[in-house]
Chain A
């Protein structure tokens, strides 16, 4: 009797223990919860920051049109930028921004693709040991340093070679070319490395030379990736403020040629923001410029997504 009683007790206590264990979260589960909680918190904060920035810039940017009653067409297509006198035609800056962005991308892409081919196909070993660190170094240099080199070296060089004051779109293009080169190169390298190995092997097996394989198979199938790389480079060029501002001359006039001083959306923003008063037209006009920048970067992002999607479809076929 006694023994069975004892056994029963033991069983009961044991089952109690088990139920306690089963009904309470283990350490691992709690860690899981905590991890989840922290992740959600961080995501929440980031979403909040992005949403409030979008809202802030948009609400400030549209004030030019809602409060100061400037017509949108005048703002987008007007060429007279003198906010103190009430003229805010932003076309010179818009044209300037696009001009330096496209020019830099056009100049940088061949160099970037060439470097990337060298690093992946021609000499992967040297590429990894020599070029990779160089490109990473270029990414790490702060833009003010690029601007300073631009001011001290590129501007006088352009003055001697092409004339004028040296400040202008051509100098900005030159500086931006060096700045976007690493972005485009490293992303192109990634997309070239992502080309399936059997594409290359099949091509070589069919008797194609290395150059034929690279130019007609590898580059062809990596095209969406390369385009994405170029657009990322353009997005960086479009948003770059400091370095461009130091070499472009900041003249809010329609650029007539590549060597006359011009200005970009960003350069106008950085020069003007400290001297304007909250809530006045000159200040609101600058926020509208910021809004254009924001919309453009959203556009670049959307473009990247579209290209990535199209590329995927091609691969499936």
Chain B
């Protein structure tokens, strides 16, 4: 009897697990069918780790108001977000870059919702003695033409370049604004803002680039051409290295997804949450950038 019950329990657990798996996959694929009811259903947002903290916080607030909506936010990278939303596996694909910029993504099939702006700036280890660089110098450093800090007015110290992984949204933004088509010299690569932050702070002579929200007093954010990396300068496009945070959807989003996207664009999120978490509100931008990088005044 004892053995029998144990067995039965084991089988029950396994079958529950199997049923659980089945449910999870079926509910993501049949999300559009549940749209008839007002604000219930499942919203899955996957992708960019730069947008993840904001999306998760906003998602939690949204869910507190709409308890029937099952909202999950996951990381995985911009590439994952775009390919998953394109495949129809998730309802929202988070990305740091325009879908047009990513090879293998059919951008015309996706709808872009810009939810925030992120500014990025070069950061250097404090020992290097660098506070300002010319744009051309930054480019020469990252293409390997300048290899010692004394060449740009710093200490006699070897430059250690810490890049982000190839295909990373942050790297794409930085290279578009700074390298403008030139190829970066092969160097160390890290896969997250957090790792870059830690390594630049502790490695003498290190340079990398980070989103504004990751600045700490342990590292030196660098001004370019005497423009300081601040939110105001991004809003007027005086500071050139910035990108939108996108939430991509495919086809017509169901009610829950549409409501969440509307909530992301609302004043509650844009005026408080976005700023509190170190992003720049989409409403404050005085310029618009398109997928080709052309900037127009609003």
Contact = CB atoms under 8 A, between A and B. Distances in A.
A156 B191 CA distance: 20
A70 B188 CA distance: 25
B201 to A, nearest CB: 12
A38 interface: yes
8 contacts: A31-B3, A156-B202, A166-B203, A251-B189, A275-B80, A275-B165, A275-B166, A277-B103
Contacts of A272: 165-167, 191
B190 A271 contact: yes
Given A31-B3, A277-B83, A252 B102 contact: no
Contacts of A274: 49, 75-80, 191
Interface residues on A, range: 35 or more
A165 interface: yes
B105 interface: yes
B7 interface: yes
B167 A165 contact: no
B183 interface: yes
Nearest to B76: A274
Given A165-B206, A280-B104, A275 B188 contact: no
Contacts of B168: 275
B160 interface: yes
Nearest to B202: A156
Contacts of B90: none
Contacts of B76: 274
Given A167-B199, A250-B188, 13 more contacts: A34-B7, A38-B7, A83-B166, A165-B160, A251-B188, A274-B79, A274-B80, A275-B167, A277-B83, A278-B87, A282-B166, A282-B167, A283-B79
Given A38-B7, A274-B80, A274-B191, A252 B186 contact: yes
B188 A82 contact: no
Interface of A: 31, 34, 38, 82-85, 151, 155-156, 159, 165-167, 245-246, 249-253, 261, 263, 270-280, 282-283
B236 interface: no
Contact of A277 (B79, B195, B198, B204): B79
Nearest to A83: B166
Contacts of A283: 79, 104
Nearest to A280: B104
Contacts of A277: 79, 82-83, 102-105
Given A31-B3, A275-B77, A280-B104, A251 B186 contact: yes
A252 B103 contact: no
Given A274-B80, A275-B77, A275-B167, A261 B203 contact: no
